[in-house]
Amino acid sequence: PQKRSAICQGARILPFTTGKVVNNDYNWLTTYFEVNFRPWHKKGAPELYPVELREEIDKMNRSGKPSAAG
């Protein structure tokens, strides 16, 4: 078998202009997109991380268990 020289380090954000990692907090990347990129979401797009449900969503995400919805 061939040796692998790369190690998987999870998801990360790299700007094309620099190629340097600016965020590798892969556990929270989707949350950052849902909150910080909201101004660029399509008009009428659903709120994926509503303020009133964030505590519950975060608790469920930390538990690693699927939601009742499936």
pLDDT of amino acid 15: 77
pLDDT of amino acid 13: 76
Q: Is 41 within a domain?
A: yes
What's 4's domain CATH number? 3.40.30.10
User: Considering its fold, how many domains does the chain have in total?
Assistant: 1
Taking the C-alpha atoms of residue 52 and residue 55, their distance in angstroms, rounded to an integer, is 8
pLDDT of amino acid 10: 67
Q: What share of the chain is helix, strand, coil (3-state, %, to 5)?
A: 35, 5, 65
Low-confidence residues in the chain, pLDDT < 50? none
pLDDT of amino acid 42: 93
Residues in a beta bridge with 13? 23
Q: Is 69 within a domain?
A: no
Q: Look at the alpha carbons of 7, 10, 11, 13 in this order and tell me if their dihedral is positive or negative.
A: negative
Q: Is 70 within a domain?
A: no
